[in-house]
A and B are shown apart, each in its own frame.
Chain A
Amino acid sequence: MSLYASANQTVGPYLHIGLTWLVTPKIAGPGVRGERVTIQGRLLDGDGAAVNDGMIEIWQANSLGKYAHPEDTQKKPLERGFKGFGRIPTDARGAFRFSTIKPGRVPGPGGKPQAPHLVVSVFMRGLLKHLATRIYFPDEPSNADDPILRLVPAARRSTLIPKRKSRGVLEWNIILQGKGETVFFDY
């Protein structure tokens, strides 16, 4: 038996009504191990205007590179209270901000480790299907060998790597179109 997946539709302008109950800007609670990091930025459209009715979702492994999901059968410990999920709406300035820990390396194609990264879904009115992207980490030597980053044209890789703004704070903007357009993935 084979069916085709149902069609995606836009979240529209009123996504907050159904989705904000699960807003999770603090992905890692106080007891969770790992290097603390706050990631902030803005969601901007093709005119550089703020997308004030958007939302992002984050999915990530813990600091040992283990996902809290049955598909991850690596013999690494999970941590109580760490799910690895974040949901953050944008504000009137199109800004978002969340705090978490830097994840460890997780296996990639052929079992080779990937550089530390978060996977990101982007939702908004005007997107008929959500977008997928990734956040890598600055000053991370393993970025050079990351199998996914290497598929991205070299000139555009920087759109997936935040800038260090201050100690423990990274800045990463999502630019939908034009100069510095963020790299989006289609799995």
Chain B
Amino acid sequence: MKSSRKHPIKPAALSGLYRRPHPGTQPDYDYPAYVSTAKRHPTQPLVIPPQTLSELTGPVFGHDDVKAGDNDLTRQHKGDPLGERIFVSGRVLDENGRAVPNTLVEIWQANAAGRYPHATDQHDAPLDPNFSGAGRTVTDADGRYRFISIRPGEYPWRNHHNAWRPAHIHFSLFGQAFLTRMITQMYFPGDPLLEFDPMYNCIANEGARKRLISLFDWETTQPEYALGYRFDIVLRGRDATPMEGSAR
């Protein structure tokens, strides 16, 4: 079908339910390798209800909710933060490959030395007075987002002996419904700590796991200024079949 390349699925047809996760692509709540899950995971079976209007809707954010420059983590203080400047950009898509426009993307990360400006982070590494480590933006009509930041450092944590988190940036996204809400982490290519990291390894499906690693990207690398990393994020998508007894 020739026309299907240009319009893979008609927008109007996507009024069905959100798809259930593909097996192995999402973490379990009980994951002993990550010690903190022990007392914080539900022990009773989760109840699987029908998706109703309450879950098919969700908070709507727009470009008015963020300020110009909120996506530049290198310009929040008087001086430049220490570390290697980077661009992090990509697209937010749904499982049908369609752009998710106008959705809020929030990020936070450690500084170049692997330290967070947070009361509970006691790691013996310097704070950077010119780096707070938080940014936010709203995707454009094509689902694109872009941040300017510095490459975060690796840091130790107390999960097991000699435990170190690979360099990562936390991402928070809403999508278009309560049930598309997602928190994830972006990693960097070639990080030797990934294979030892319980967070990274909690995803059983290898392809899904590897998609948490950003790609080095010449397209967004700017000469004499900063390296570019590309990180595309896929949120849950809807089936084409309309809901039975639709609430709308």
Contact = CB atoms under 8 A, between A and B. Distances in A.
A46 B117 contact: no
Given A18-B106, A128-B34, A156-B44, A5 B170 contact: no
A6 B46 contact: no
B42 interface: yes
A9 B172 contact: no
A6 to B, nearest CB: 5
A15 B56 CA distance: 25
A7 B208 contact: yes
B53 A8 contact: no
A141 interface: no
Contact of B108 (A6, A19, A72, A124): A19
Contact of B136 (A21, A117, A183): A21
What is the predominant secondary structure among interface residues of chain A facing chain B?
loop
A7 B47 CA distance: 21
A61 B172 CA distance: 23
Contacts of B179: 132, 187
Nearest to A109: B50
A106 B93 CA distance: 29
Given A17-B132, A72-B248, A176-B39, A109 B184 contact: no
Contact of A83 (B46, B59, B184): B59
B155 to A, nearest CB: 11
B56 A128 contact: no
Q: Which of A14, A16, A22 has the most CB of B within 10 A?
A: A14
A187 B234 contact: no
What is the predominant secondary structure among interface residues of chain B facing chain A?
loop
Interface in A132-163: 132, 147-148, 151-152, 156
Given A59-B178, A187-B49, A9 B36 contact: no
Interface string A35-65: 0000000000111010101000101010000
Given A3-B234, A19-B106, A67-B53, A184 B199 contact: no
Nearest to B44: A181
B172 A6 contact: no
B116 A17 contact: yes
A106 B97 contact: no
Contact of B46 (A14, A19, A184): A184
B75 interface: no
Interface size on A, as a range, is: 35 or more
Contacts of A61: 54
B183 A5 contact: no
A185 B46 contact: yes
A186 B116 CA distance: 32
B59 A181 contact: no
A181 to B, nearest CB: 5
Contacts of A47: 39
Contacts of B236: 5
Contact of B37 (A59, A109, A128, A181): A128
B170 A18 contact: yes
B26 interface: yes
Contact of A177 (B8, B31, B42, B184): B42
A88 B96 CA distance: 32
B37 A7 contact: no
A53 B119 CA distance: 11
Contacts of B234: 3-6
Given A6-B211, A128-B34, A185-B47, 6 more contacts: A6-B208, A17-B117, A71-B248, A74-B248, A83-B60, A85-B59
